[in-house]
Amino acid sequence: MGNQGGVGLVTVVLKRAASRPRGASDRRRLGDAVRETLLNLAAVGGAICILLTLAAVFFHITLIMFKTGSMSPTIPAGSLAVVREVPVSEVRIGDIVTVDRPGQLPVTHRVTSSRMIDGTTAVLTLKGDANRVEDPAPYTVSKVRTVLYSVPGIAYLVAGASNPWVLGGTTLAVSALVTWALWPRQESARPERDQRARHKARA
């Protein structure tokens, strides 16, 4: 009689376990995992933006895009370069520098000669690696941006991401993600009830 009662109790417990709606629990866990992943990606993106801002403000480090191939093959068209603003007195022959030109786009070429006029100003002659001759006229500057390193092929991606429509869509998407992730959710009491049922079955 005792054995039959024990078998009956085990059967009831197994039936209850089999009848539990696991689909809702699995979907909830999947939703939590997706939400956590998206929040982590958003956090990484925000951290990168903050680091870039701090680098620009405190270390004068910025990004430039190469639309032409005048520095190929060293820096091909479509490359993204990290540059740092420095006094012209720190520039050496062979350095790749970006020089601002009044009324024109900046030019990024290699220094072929440098002549200091005074302690803060110099006359630089530049030449693109892919060009046969030096730039038509020298540049009189006090500050330049030296190229620290470059990554080929990602300038177009960055340019596309900076499109106003893309930026607006990204802002809306991130706002919706944060709202969805932080929206209050009612926790299910089913796991606690299941745990109490298992304790009773064991007793």
Do the domain assignments include residue 194?
A: no
CB neighbour class for 108 (10 Å; exposed up to 12, middle 13-18, buried from 19)? buried
Q: How far is CA 198 from CA 17, 20, 181, 191, in A?
A: 9, 13, 32, 11
CATH number at residue 108: 2.10.109.10
Kindly report whether the global pTM for this prediction surpasses the value 0.75: no
Judgement on whether residues 76 and 154 belong to the same structural domain of the protein: yes
Judgement on whether residues 110 and 30 belong to the same structural domain of the protein: no
Average pLDDT over residues 62-88: 92
Most confident residue range from 16-25, 45-54, 69-78, 161-170: 69-78
Do the domain assignments include residue 54?
A: yes
Judgement on whether residues 98 and 52 belong to the same structural domain of the protein: no
Interval 5-43: pLDDT, tens:
444 544 544 455 455 555 657 777 776 777 777 667 766
Judgement on whether residues 40 and 119 belong to the same structural domain of the protein: no
Average pLDDT over residues 63-83: 92
Domain count, the chain: 2
The candidate with the shortest Cα–Cα distance to 77, out of 161, 154, 159, is 154
Judgement on whether residues 48 and 75 belong to the same structural domain of the protein: no
Check residue 194 and give its pLDDT. Answer: 56
Q: What's the rounded Cα separation, in Å, for the pair 139 and 114?
A: 10
Tell me the residue range of the domain where 37 lies.
Answer: 19-59
Q: Would you state the structure tokens that stand for residue 9, as one six-digit string?
A: 């109790």
Tell me: pLDDT of 155 over 80. Answer: no
Judgement on whether residues 51 and 90 belong to the same structural domain of the protein: no
Percent of the chain exceeding pLDDT 70 equals 57
The dihedral built from the CA positions of residue 103, 104, 110 and 113, taken in this order, carries a sign that is negative
Judgement on whether residues 48 and 99 belong to the same structural domain of the protein: no
Check residue 185 and give its pLDDT. Answer: 61
Do the domain assignments include residue 152?
A: yes
Judgement on whether residues 74 and 132 belong to the same structural domain of the protein: yes
Interval 54-63: pLDDT, tens:
666 676 788 8
Q: Would you state the structure tokens that stand for residue 105, as one six-digit string?
A: 């786009």
Judgement on whether residues 99 and 129 belong to the same structural domain of the protein: yes
